[in-house]
Amino acid sequence: MDRSDYERVTEILSRAGISDYSMVPQDVMERASLFGTHTHLACELYDRGTLDISTVHAGIIPYLNSYKYFLDNFAVVIEDIEREVVSERWKFRGHLDRVGIVNGVRTLIDLKTSTIVLPAVSLQTGGYTYAYHEEEKRKKIRKRLCVQLTEGIPNLFWYDNPHDEAVFIACLQVARWRAHNKLTKEQLEWITLMET
């Protein structure tokens, strides 16, 4: 089934006004996005056992080592890698980085390479968790974690607010309400741009 018209978790948070990167210059955003994409790929290939370290750019190696530090020091057993999850009920989709057992507990793991981890990541992981639970009736995520990869030891941000899934759904409804109630041509053009 084609779900390309389903809204993405990160787009929903942006359109609801929760995540706003408009103050960041476009060239900086593009460089950061490219760096994050390449770092995620290196971590994915490492987890799949297919990484050729000689192909990894020198600037990414410290972040890969930061990821390895996390895996080695928290007894991580990866179950899912770069998985798209879908909520048919709410018609949204998301791309979670990892689900794994961390210190004996099934945990949703979100990897970040940004210098700042915004509070909205708690709602982002809440959205992913909601969709995951809709798909996986027998496996339950018990914890959510953002691993901020650095040039050294990673920073860990644990999210334990039991309302994050519900707040994400509220954000989805606000984003749709905002889209439905735009009044000016400029606002409608902005929505169209965000949805493509």
- What are 109-127's pLDDT values in tens digits? 999 999 999 999 999 999 9
pLDDT at 183: 39
Q: Would you place residue 23 in the very low, low, confident or very high pLDDT band (cuts 50, 70, 90)?
A: confident
109: left (phi over 0), alpha (psi -120 to 50) or beta: beta
Q: Count the domains in the chain.
A: 1
Name the residue with tokens 């987890």.
47
Q: Is residue 44 part of a domain?
A: yes
Residue of higher predicted confidence among 189 and 101:
101
Q: What does the H/E/C string look like for 125-167?
A: HHHHHHHHHHHCCCCCCCEEEEEECCCCCCEEEEECCCCHHHH
Q: Is residue 107 part of a domain?
A: yes
- Does the pLDDT at position 5 exceed 70? yes
pLDDT at 36: 94
Q: Would you place residue 25 in the very low, low, confident or very high pLDDT band (cuts 50, 70, 90)?
A: confident
Tell me the average pLDDT across 55-77.
97
Q: Is residue 63 part of a domain?
A: yes
- Does the pLDDT at position 191 exceed 80? no
**Domain that residue 78 falls in:** 7-195
Q: Would you place residue 184 in the very low, low, confident or very high pLDDT band (cuts 50, 70, 90)?
A: very low
Q: Is residue 191 part of a domain?
A: yes
Name the residue with tokens 């650095």.
150
Q: Is residue 173 part of a domain?
A: yes
Q: Give the CATH number of the domain where residue 13 resides.
A: 3.40.1350.10
Q: Is residue 72 part of a domain?
A: yes
Q: Would you place residue 181 in the very low, low, confident or very high pLDDT band (cuts 50, 70, 90)?
A: confident
pLDDT at 196: 57
Q: Is residue 99 part of a domain?
A: yes
pLDDT at 178: 84
Q: Is residue 2 part of a domain?
A: no
Give dist(CA 155, CA 116) in Å, integer.
10
